[in-house]
């Protein structure tokens, strides 16, 4: 088994991995769809978490391309209005602080837009611990591995010294695309059996298990 404790660069997804925002994403998508005369299941919304919304709408509403701009505006309005209620998962702040204290290089690779990440990261209490952050609108959306490749270059890290941690199949597919080790967390948007099919290096069921795998 790969020893994650030796990794010097630890890259995190945001939604569903560090921040408990899956419920809000589901609510916002359901609200936007209903407002524009469409329907979407909670399961379908969870399946697109991690990828950019511009890529998600064709998957959720393949026959309604004329409504994508309206859907995005409504979704964003709802999300911004309610995102102050989002919190980090219990134990995340301590995990990030402890990893930083150990001298680990920390980074974020998220399907959010830069504007969306900057709305929540400064108030999270962990922003200062991250060396770099990448968003889908600045690079390429998941599962394209461009943001991981850019983080490796910026931090001068070999791929074998890095691990990516995420809660969606898109996260694991992104890491697998460049053969980077990955940890799938099953406390976010996807269940362990679904994540296992993507062949992550490791699966954990809680923040505490994640901590044990990294220390």
Phi and psi at residue 181, in whole multiples of 5°?
A: -60, 150
CB 124 within 8 A of CB 131: no
Residue-wise pLDDT for 90-125, tens only, equals 999 999 999 999 999 999 999 999 999 998 999 899
pLDDT given at position 151 = 98
CB 75 within 8 A of CB 52: no
Helix (H) or strand (E) holding 145: none
Residue-wise pLDDT for 152-191, tens only, equals 999 999 999 999 999 999 999 999 999 999 999 999 999 9
pLDDT given at position 1 = 62
CA atoms within 13 A on the CB side of 186: 14
């Amino acid at each position: 088994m790969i020893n994650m404790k030796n990794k010097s660069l630890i890259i995190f997804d945001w939604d569903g991995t560090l921040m408990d925002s899956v419920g809000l994403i589901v609510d916002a998508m359901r609200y936007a769809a209903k407002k524009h005369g469409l329907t979407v299941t909670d399961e379908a919304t969870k399946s697109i978490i991690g990828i950019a919304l511009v890529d998600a709408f064709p998957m959720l509403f393949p026959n309604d391309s004329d409504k994508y701009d309206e859907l995005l505006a409504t979704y964003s309005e709802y999300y911004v209005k309610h995102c102050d209620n989002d919190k980090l998962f219990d134990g995340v702040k301590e995990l990030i602080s402890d990893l930083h204290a150990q001298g680990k290089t920390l980074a974020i690779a998220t399907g959010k837009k830069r504007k969306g990440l900057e709305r929540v990261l400064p108030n999270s209490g962990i922003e200062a611990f991250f060396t770099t952050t990448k968003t889908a609108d600045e690079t390429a959306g998941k599962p394209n591995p461009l943001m991981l490749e850019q983080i490796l270059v910026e931090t001068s890290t070999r791929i074998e010294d890095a691990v990516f941690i995420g809660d969606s199949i898109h996260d694991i597919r992104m890491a697998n695309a460049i053969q980077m080790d990955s940890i799938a967390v099953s406390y976010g948007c996807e269940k362990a059996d679904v994540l296992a099919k993507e062949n992550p290096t490791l699966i954990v069921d809680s923040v505490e298990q994640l901590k044990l795998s990294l220390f």
